[in-house]
């Protein structure tokens, strides 16, 4: 089950986040992150009252300000790291060798990236990374997947900037 979250700026101090698949589920906050976190917990509460399905809920949202597309996905299962990531070395790296791009996954290194679900940033582990830029168009990207040290959910953040 995939939930998409739309975030709108109402005014300088207020952001409104809505879950498109669940009517009436909306929350506001003084930052887009706060509004998003509130609406996710409302959505999860609503979902927990529905009949159970085998599919884990996945939350997805996208911000398009500051010239960068910034997307965030939250899931109870790893999305980019392989299911056996815990058994791997900390970082299993593939790269072009010239510093243009690098991708890795593994049992992880400590990270200060906040959990997209509960906001926790303590004891989080990054288990996937993918960054690079393409030549000659100058597009660049930076993707990270972290496992939350608190709620144990997985957050995949992707940043993309056109060159």
Q: Which residues bind Zn ion (CB under 5 A)?
A: 115, 117-118, 120, 148, 150-151
Q: What does the alpha-carbon distance between residue 17 and residue 9 come to, in Å, rounded to a whole number?
A: 9
Q: Which is nearer to Zn ion, 33 or 102 (CB)?
A: 33
Give the shortest CB-94-to-Zn ion separation in angstroms.
28
Q: What does the alpha-carbon distance between residue 125 and residue 130 come to, in Å, rounded to a whole number?
A: 15
Q: Which is nearer to Zn ion, 19 or 74 (CB)?
A: 74
Interacting residues of 140 by C-beta distance below 8 A, sequence separation 6+: 131, 132, 133, 134, 160, 161, 163
> Of 139, 113, 142, 140, whose CA–CA distance to 126 is shortest?
113
Give the shortest CB-148-to-Zn ion separation in angstroms.
3
Q: Which is nearer to Zn ion, 3 or 117 (CB)?
A: 117
Give the shortest CB-100-to-Zn ion separation in angstroms.
33
Q: What does the alpha-carbon distance between residue 39 and residue 59 come to, in Å, rounded to a whole number?
A: 10
Q: Which is nearer to Zn ion, 40 or 80 (CB)?
A: 40
Give the shortest CB-111-to-Zn ion separation in angstroms.
12
């Amino acid at each position: 089950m995939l939930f998409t979250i739309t975030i709108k700026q109402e005014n300088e101090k207020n952001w409104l986040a809505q879950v498109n698949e669940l009517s009436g589920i909306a929350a506001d906050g003084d930052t887009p992150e706060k509004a998003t976190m509130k609406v996710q917990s409302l959505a999860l509460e609503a979902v927990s009252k529905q009949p159970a399905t085998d599919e884990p809920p996945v939350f997805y949202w996208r911000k398009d300000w500051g010239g960068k597309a910034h997307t965030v996905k939250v899931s109870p299962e790893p999305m980019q790291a392989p299911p056996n990531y815990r058994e791997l070395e900390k970082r299993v790296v593939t790269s072009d060798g010239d510093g243009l791009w690098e991708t890795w996954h593994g049992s992880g290194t400590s990270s200060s990236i906040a959990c997209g679900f509960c906001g926790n940033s303590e004891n989080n582990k990054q288990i996937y990374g993918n960054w690079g830029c393409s030549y000659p168009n100058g597009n660049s990207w930076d993707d990270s997947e972290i496992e939350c040290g608190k709620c144990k959910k997985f957050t995949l953040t992707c940043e993309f900037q056109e060159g």
